[in-house]
Amino acid sequence: MSSKNRPVISEKPGNRPKRDVVETRKRNRVILKSILAAVLTVDSMLVLLLGYLFFLHVPYFNLQQVDVTGNSRLSRTEVIEASQIESGTNLITVDLGVIAERLKRHPWIRSASVYRRFPAQLIVEIEERTPRAILSAGKLYYVDDQAEIFTRLLPGDPVDFPLITGVTPDQLETDGPEIREMIRSGLNLMDLMERSGSDLELSEVSEIRVDLDDGLSLHTRSSRIVVLGKANFEQKMQRYGRLRKFLTQTGEWHNARIINLDFEDRALVRSADRARLQG
């Protein structure tokens, strides 16, 4: 049979396999769903963006009130000034972490937390430092209950705190960690005298002297020096009580001027006439 007379076989659309038609329809549905999801996502993002921009410019969320808690020495105005919070700022844009860091840079503020309260209020919570002693090192500095030297005294500041001496400005610069540890020991000694009913009350002490080599010594208001060293303060203070009782009974207490307790089992006493008593 010649090519001219050979029958031509064609497949009509209606004769395509059903499986191909079903797969095509599924593929088309997937494409349509993807397009629809993309459109909805873009619409949602546009709605959120427009909503955010709207709230940024609505006066309803402008800062109107700042509440401060935890302040005792500092006034509310001083805390707000340290925070650098601007009145009228939109509450949504306020960076709470930045404000807290600003507050903690103030020498009298140990810690700070800041919270929003919608629609127009900020809550500032601070913990102030508590002076425990005054350090004399060229100038006068407050020391807190964690042995941190945190600020200089200004005219009019309270001075009714135990005085720590013996530190030079150069030592403060070069031996800061060691000085702080000695100050911490001094604070522990103060706590010991306050809580144990010691024979030497803290109110009798005019200064606590720090020496990086020899440790701590107490200078009393009656011009006595009590040398304690660097450790075992509780045992040494007990020994001080027994020695005071003994010297009082023998009539020698009023002559005792230097009492060295920095020994394991004895004390060395130097009297006003430079004689040594050992006990």
Q: What are phi and psi of 116, to 5 degrees?
A: -90, 145
Q: What is the pLDDT at residue 58?
A: 66
Query: Does any domain span residue 33?
Result: no
**Looking at the structure, do residues 124 and 158 belong to the same domain, yes or no?**
no
- Domain at 175, CATH number: 3.40.50.11690
Specify the amino acid at residue 226.
V
Please enumerate in sequence order all residues whose Cβ is within 8 A of that of 237, keeping only pairs 6 or more positions apart, or say none. 192, 193, 196, 198, 199, 200, 228
Same domain, yes or no: 123 and 137: no
101 and 189, same domain (yes or no): no
**Alpha-carbon torsion angle 172, 174, 177, 183, nearest 10:** -30
Q: Are residues 242 and 274 in the same domain?
A: yes
Residues 121 and 142 in one domain: no
Residues 219 and 232 in one domain: yes
pLDDT at 34 over 80: no
Nearest by Cα to 161 from 144, 185, 149: 144
**What is the maximum span of the chain, computed from C-alpha positions, in angstroms?**
151
- The helix/strand/coil state of 24 is helix
Task: Return the pLDDT at 264.
Answer: 85
Co-location of 138 and 256 in the same domain: yes
In a domain, 34, yes or no: no
Please indicate, yes or no, whether residues 82 and 188 belong to a single structural domain of this protein.
no
Q: Are residues 206 and 82 part of one domain?
A: no
Burial of 70 (0-12, 13-18, 19+ CB in 10 A): middle
Per-residue pLDDT tens digits for 96-121 = 999 999 999 999 999 999 999 999 99
Q: What total of structural domains would you count in the chain?
A: 2
71, 104, 128: which is the final residue of a domain? 128
Length of the chain, please? 279
Neighbours of 118 (CB within 10 A): 9
d(CA 29, CA 86): 54
112 is a domain residue? yes
Q: Is residue 153 part of a domain?
A: yes
The answer to the question of residue 180 being in a domain is yes
The CATH number of whichever domain residue 63 belongs to comes to 3.10.20.310
pTM, 2 dp: 0.76
Same domain, yes or no: 150 and 227: yes
pLDDT digits (tens, 9 = 90+) for 202-254: 999 999 999 999 999 999 999 999 999 999 999 999 999 999 999 999 999 99
* Contact present, 41 and 65 (Cβ < 8 Å): no
Asked if residue 230 lies in contact with residue 213, where contact means CB atoms within 8 angstroms, the answer is no
Range of the domain at 89: 59-128
94 and 142 both lie in a single domain: no
Q: Is the pLDDT of residue 72 over 50?
A: yes
